[in-house]
Amino acid sequence: MGSNRVYAKRYLRGIRYARRSLRVAGVDVGSTKVAVVIGEIKEQSLEITGVGSHPSSGVYNGIILDLEMVANSIRRAVDKAERMSGYKIPPAQMGISGSHLEGSYRDVTIAIHQNEVTQRDLNRVIEIVMAGTLPQHRKVIHVLPLDFTIDDKYGGIQNPLGMSGTRLEAEVLFMTGEATYINHLIRSCRRAGVEVAGITVAPLASSEAVLTEDEKEQGSVLLDIGGEVSELAIFYQGAMVYSTIVKGGGNQLTQALATAFLTPTNDAEQLKIKYGSALSYKSYQDQTLAIPGSGGGQSREYHRETLVKILQSEIINILNQLNEEIHRSLCRNLLAAGCILTGGTALLPGIDTLTERIFNLPVRVGYPRDISGLVGHVESPAFSTAVGLAKLGRGNSSSINDLGGVNRLGQVTTTLKEWLRNLKIASQSDFDELSRIE
């Protein structure tokens, strides 16, 4: 009898441990590639168990143009991740980007119930924001709190829960996207056999993977330079306070080489990867490259310096646009922690130094951090968004054996950090409406 009781205790302890593990997944559908990360949240840490990527087809500037092509790319990437992990992909957090995304600021004022800020009061703030007029063709993606003020006197509050007062003011960043594009993303995933647990704008996901808490708190700008677009997000006092997108990314650099050298795009991409740099060095004047001609034509020789100067011109153009957006945001003086570069183009040698010169800010390249398991497979800025999406999967309340839920509007939690983490789909009804369409 005693041995049975010991066995039962160990069994129950094992169940409790299993419940603390949560299988999660992130799917980043970009213009260049689809990246999939599968993992488990254990004691609030992400252990990578499966990784897959596949060239992306049917996406341009973050917008899906061909559902079947995108679904096929997702399916190929998911298959690789599933084979590596040894189990089927759980409902996944999806990244969304593109010029259709819009952010606006809204101020809400409510009377504090019973003179102490409670969860009920925070829920009312969100409900009022969600009740605002919204064009039919747009859907809510995020409602992100920026700042709280109590009784017009105590401002800059990040977590007002438990504070006393009669009136609560909240400033929130309200992010929306084109319903059609969100719908296409969900459809593509469903066709690929992936259930969608939530949708997160790509910069917010990337920040979860590469930014430190100090960088979010002190003020930093995250630049995610993708294939077709470059996304900029500014963080201050733990919140994303500004976000925008400019056209141009790694594919623009590749196309510039293909046009200048009259070489196939695939060859131009390999030249960029192998010999590219954001800075020109004297030694490049003496290095010659044999560049293939288009249509199988004869190769021609060029100095490496010529290739680098072409890339440098394109990069400067993109960085100048992003720098203008930083000044337009009126947040330039808040960036004490500097600039963090991520995305595949962040791997280009010298891009951090060039960015530092243009922005006049300290710059580092951001790699996925605070992860374990198959780290070597995602140890690249190109996987920042996918890793961040998987990390955000910890907002799901379901266990390994019950992974079907979508985060509801009512899951406003006790801290600003958790609020940011858990409000992926701001409206359950909106998500259900989109999810019904196959």
Give pLDDT tens digits for 235-270. Answer: 998 888 899 999 899 999 999 999 999 999 999 999
11 falls in which pLDDT band (50, 70, 90)? very low
Average pLDDT, the chain: 83
With a cut of 60, say whether residue 14 has pLDDT above it: no
Give pLDDT tens digits for 44-58. Answer: 789 999 999 999 988
Q: Which residues pair with 200 in a beta bridge?
A: 95
- CB-CB contact of 364 with 12 (8 Å): no
- CB-CB contact of 185 with 199 (8 Å): yes
- CB-CB contact of 43 with 20 (8 Å): yes
With a cut of 90, say whether residue 409 has pLDDT above it: no
CA distance 141 to 146: 16
DSSP three-state, residue 83: helix
> Can you give the pLDDT at residue 436?
53
Span 65-77, average pLDDT: 94
| Strand ranges in 297-337 using DSSP code E only, listed in sequence order | 300-303
CA distance 139 to 295: 46
Percent of residues, the chain, with pLDDT higher than 90:
54
- CB-CB contact of 312 with 280 (8 Å): yes
Percent of residues, the chain, with pLDDT higher than 70:
84
| Strand ranges in 132-166 using DSSP code E only, listed in sequence order | 138-150, 154-157
177 falls in which pLDDT band (50, 70, 90)? confident
Give pLDDT tens digits for 111-129. Answer: 988 888 888 888 888 888 8
pTM of the shown model: 0.83
DSSP three-state, residue 276: coil
> Can you give the pLDDT at residue 18?
41
Of residues 156 and 365, more confidently modeled:
365
CA distance 217 to 281: 37
With a cut of 70, say whether residue 88 has pLDDT above it: yes
395 falls in which pLDDT band (50, 70, 90)? low
> Can you give the pLDDT at residue 338?
97
> Can you give the pLDDT at residue 160?
87
Helix-strand-coil split of the chain, %, nearest 5:
40, 30, 30
> Can you give the pLDDT at residue 13?
45
- Domains of the chain plus CATH, in order, are 213-368 (3.30.420.40)
CA distance 423 to 392: 10
226 falls in which pLDDT band (50, 70, 90)? confident
Give pLDDT tens digits for 322-373. Answer: 999 999 999 999 999 999 999 999 999 999 999 999 999 999 999 999 999 9
Give pLDDT tens digits for 287-334. Answer: 999 999 887 778 899 999 999 999 999 999 999 999 999 999 999 999
> Can you give the pLDDT at residue 128?
84
> Can you give the pLDDT at residue 105?
84
Parallel/antiparallel/unpaired status of strands 33-42 and 21-29? antiparallel
> Can you give the pLDDT at residue 207?
94
> Can you give the pLDDT at residue 422?
43
